[in-house]
Structure 1
Amino acid sequence: MNPEAVGLASHRLQQIERHLQQRYLEPGRLPGALTLIERRGELAHLSVQGHMDVERARPLQQDTIFRIYSMTKPITSVALMMLVEQGQIALDDPVHRYIPQWRNLGVYEAGFVGTFRTRAAAAPMRVVDLLRHTSGLTYGLQQRTNVDAAYRKFGFGDPAGSGTLQGMIEGLANIPLESSPGEVWNYSVSTDVLGYLVGKISGMPFEQFLRERIFEPLGMIDTDFHVPAAKAARFAACYMLGPDGRMNLQDDPQNSPYLKPPSFVSGGGGLVSTAADYLRFCRMLLNGGTLDGARLLSPKTIELMTANHLPGGKELPEMSVSLFSEASYSGVGFGLGFAVTTNPARTLVPGSVGDYSWGGMASTYFWIDPREQLIVIFMTQLMPSTIYNLRRELRTLVYSAFT
């Protein structure tokens, strides 16, 4: 690694490790942290700090396997766009063309499960609404409305739940939308629905499509919906921040549900991966849809995906009713699977117009800055992801190392 050769200062990159160590690792606010920075196609920085399993004092490793939760969403979005490129589905198609039982979904007005009162939606849900989270669907974890409560009651969208993707699709036919499609941005099970569409349209199970059409061509050898026995020793523990500010073990890697294939295959949050695997996915995106001779998408499709698709060119704070999101500040819009920076000055953190990003519930995060030929991947395992300003701090530290 020679950071100076790609316009980065070594001594400033070292500030990232010091910052993480002093602010998060030593006080026990994070179990461990893996930070990877690549610029102009060269690895410029890789730091591996802390533990993958605090209870057993097992150090974090470069090849540790992490739950990436919502960093699954960009992968699922790419899968759907591969089918768009083949003409098998279009962004303005109504979703009920593929899920007929959703044709007459109403919008919530009042009531509870079994007594919902609804009104007609002002517009049909389109495929683009699923990609940009303007579908009118929600997440049970939002805990904002009676519709959210219905999702929790039936376990819709829970990667660790006992339901199935087909069961969720059928069940949602009986639950009203929270809003008319296209009217508001609400983080939701939309990307799980995209996974269902990929499976239905391609004629193969969604997980098989990802494996054969994305993971194998890109050489993502450790990315899957479960951790096989041969790799279990590399699987990190996951933690939850308790009311006392201490980390509590949330998922023990030795008896985790991830050690066997899930019943609910979640395109919205079900994958595990490594930093090296996710780097290959990011390289494909930055390279305009291709990597090492394998082309998944065209450069024009990547360009379309990373434009702001919020109606009227609005930003997330203007449209969001979501109590939980992996990005929520001004100067950021949303594309087809990613948050997209539209105005760096409004974000109040360094960046570029057109950089795109997303994160996961266990505080994992990535962003790609095409203008600067930059990829940054951050891996850890602490829930929830909103507890610290870590992502904004990382952006500041990385861009401050530019020369």
Structure 2
Amino acid sequence: MDAARLEHIRTWQHRYVDQRKYAGSSLLINRNGEEHYFHAAGQRNIAEELPFTRDTVTRIYSMTKPVTSLALMLLLERGLVHLDMPVSEFLPEFKDMRCLVDGATEIAQTKPCRSPTLHELLTHTSGLSYPFNPGILPEEMSKTDLMFKPSQGALAARVEELAALPLAFEPGQRWEYSVGIDVIGRVIEVVTGESLGAMLKREIFDPLGMDRTGFRSLEITGNLLASLYSPLSGDAMALNDARQGADSLRLIDSYDDTPFDTAEMHSGGGGLLSTIDDYMRFAELIRLRGSLGKDHLISPQIVDFMCQNHLPGDIASMGPQSFAEQPMDGMGFGLGGAVVLDPARARCPGSVGDFSWGGMASTFFWVDPILDLSVVFFTQLAPSSSYSSRAELKALVHGAVTR
């Protein structure tokens, strides 16, 4: 990677801070398993003037999804699940499902439908949704803030509440970003007989040395947890009612009063906290196709399967009406993350087959098997749709790869 071109990335990070788009950020780039770039800019806490550092802890939100998906793949390779199994085989509350009729104008206009499969939950084709999406089901979900937040109790109870609602459409009919991987987290709990957090720690975090990753703020984290900011005047997650505020960095959550300190919810779709080095260990596991030194945490064939496109075409071809963490044209979806099918149609530099996802606080990672590249970007600004930082970053990183 070209050192002079890497300096463009450093300048870009500081420009976002100087323009008060981000309070701070960190970026880590590995190529061929070696670190080629790390830089942190700005602050993790503006009020206390605390710097954004390598050991800063962030809310990774939906970057939890690939981790939970990998956990289900561990159960898959042990013969404990297969992906065509309906979720009702594990969670009986999903047995007698209903979905909205085509053209429905209210939540009561439903018809019977089958239970979504594990595969549909993983690929956002289940008929579930998020409260911040447009539509009748999201509106109903927003009435009870059905978001699997750290302060919303145990996972089992929230999933039962979700199952009482109809699906937005018949499973498999289209793509809609959803809480499906939160439901997968509950499936993992039922299969293993332990909490999702305990299973992830034993099976993934401990083997990878990810000792600063979990659903609760660790006692040793202290003020290392970055503050969360938003340019919106209202709820930073209420994208249907987004209103720009006078302050581009309005404080949403801080280490000294955060629900993550007492989190009971183990949200497989968005609940993890992590550091940039911890998450790079996960990204490197994907790049190395499950390798853990001389051993494998998971088989290379299963990782390859996870990182393939599992849709019949790109996301755009499946009629999405929802928010997404990535472009939809030229992008497929694997198990827990997006897969580049055509960089030109995605209108962003990249390699065919690169696997990625981001989080609502503007965090982002990708693994490029062609360039042997792993990239993790951390910041804390919600929503992630506020700026075009991900496309800019991909162009900057690809611009620095000269051979």
Partner of 2:364: 365
1:234 aligns with 2:224: yes
* Aligned residue among 65, 71, 74 for 1:82: 74
- Alpha-carbon distance between aligned partners in 2 of 1:81 and 1:283, rounded to the nearest angstrom: 17
1:97 aligns with 2:99: no
Deviation of 1:296 after TM superposition, in Å, equals: 2.2
Partner of 1:278: 279
- Alpha-carbon distance between aligned partners in 2 of 1:293 and 1:94, rounded to the nearest angstrom: 36
1:106 aligns with 2:98: yes
1:388 aligns with 2:387: yes
Partner of 1:28: 20
Amino acid at match of 1:126: T
Q: Is the 8 A contact 2:225 2:254 kept in 1?
A: no
- Alpha-carbon distance between aligned partners in 1 of 2:80 and 2:144, rounded to the nearest angstrom: 31
Partner of 1:16: 9
Deviation of 1:164 after TM superposition, in Å, equals: 2.4
SS where residue 340 of structure 1 aligns?
strand
Deviations 1:112-161 (A, max 9, x none): 56xx121122x54111001101010011121x222112212233233234
SS where residue 48 of structure 1 aligns?
strand
SS where residue 365 of structure 2 aligns?
strand
Q: Is the 8 A contact 2:150 2:266 kept in 1?
A: no
* Aligned residue among 126, 131, 135 for 1:140: 131
CA separation of 1:266 and 1:322: change in aligned 2, threshold 3 A = farther
- Alpha-carbon distance between aligned partners in 2 of 1:199 and 1:228, rounded to the nearest angstrom: 22
Partner of 1:5: none
1:342 aligns with 2:341: yes
Q: Is the 8 A contact 2:327 2:346 kept in 1?
A: no
- Alpha-carbon distance between aligned partners in 2 of 1:179 and 1:56, rounded to the nearest angstrom: 47
Partner of 1:329: 328
- Alpha-carbon distance between aligned partners in 2 of 1:60 and 1:376, rounded to the nearest angstrom: 18
1:289 aligns with 2:290: yes
Amino acid at match of 1:46: F
Partner of 2:302: 301
* Aligned residue among 245, 249, 252 for 1:250: 252
Structure 2: give runs of 5+ residues left out of the alignment. 233-243
* Aligned residue among 168, 172, 179 for 1:189: 179
Deviation of 1:177 after TM superposition, in Å, equals: 0.3
- Alpha-carbon distance between aligned partners in 1 of 2:331 and 2:306, rounded to the nearest angstrom: 14
CA separation of 1:267 and 1:320: change in aligned 2, threshold 3 A = farther
- Alpha-carbon distance between aligned partners in 2 of 1:274 and 1:245, rounded to the nearest angstrom: 27
Q: Is the 8 A contact 1:70 1:359 kept in 2?
A: yes
Q: Is the 8 A contact 1:71 1:269 kept in 2?
A: yes
* Aligned residue among 204, 208, 224 for 2:194: 204
Partner of 2:240: none
Q: Is the 8 A contact 2:40 2:52 kept in 1?
A: yes
Q: Is the 8 A contact 1:155 1:161 kept in 2?
A: no
Q: Is the 8 A contact 2:148 2:158 kept in 1?
A: no
Deviation of 1:294 after TM superposition, in Å, equals: 5.1
- Alpha-carbon distance between aligned partners in 2 of 1:151 and 1:309, rounded to the nearest angstrom: 27
Amino acid at match of 1:97: E
Amino acid at match of 2:332: G
CA separation of 1:352 and 1:377: change in aligned 2, threshold 3 A = same
- Alpha-carbon distance between aligned partners in 1 of 2:171 and 2:187, rounded to the nearest angstrom: 18
- Alpha-carbon distance between aligned partners in 2 of 1:252 and 1:305, rounded to the nearest angstrom: 35
Which stretch of the first structure deviates more once superposed, 162-171 or 195-204? 162-171
Deviation of 1:90 after TM superposition, in Å, equals: 0.1
Deviation of 1:371 after TM superposition, in Å, equals: 1.1
CA separation of 1:253 and 1:134: change in aligned 2, threshold 3 A = same
The RMSD of aligned alpha carbons is 1.4
Aligned residues: 388
- Alpha-carbon distance between aligned partners in 2 of 1:17 and 1:245, rounded to the nearest angstrom: 25
* Aligned residue among 62, 69, 75 for 2:54: 62
Deviation of 1:321 after TM superposition, in Å, equals: 2.5
SS where residue 176 of structure 1 aligns?
coil
> After superposition, where does 1:110-125 map in structure 2 within 5 Å?
110=104, 112=106, 116-121=108-113, 124-125=115-116
- Alpha-carbon distance between aligned partners in 2 of 1:78 and 1:258, rounded to the nearest angstrom: 23
Amino acid at match of 1:384: P
CA separation of 1:128 and 1:207: change in aligned 2, threshold 3 A = same
CA separation of 1:294 and 1:54: change in aligned 2, threshold 3 A = farther
CA separation of 1:203 and 1:103: change in aligned 2, threshold 3 A = same
Q: Is the 8 A contact 1:136 1:181 kept in 2?
A: yes
Partner of 1:268: 269
- Segments of 4+ moved more than 6 angstroms: none
- Alpha-carbon distance between aligned partners in 2 of 1:322 and 1:213, rounded to the nearest angstrom: 35
Structure 1: give runs of 5+ residues left out of the alignment. 1-7
| TM-score (normalised: structure 2) | 0.93
Deviation of 1:263 after TM superposition, in Å, equals: 2.3
1:173 aligns with 2:163: yes
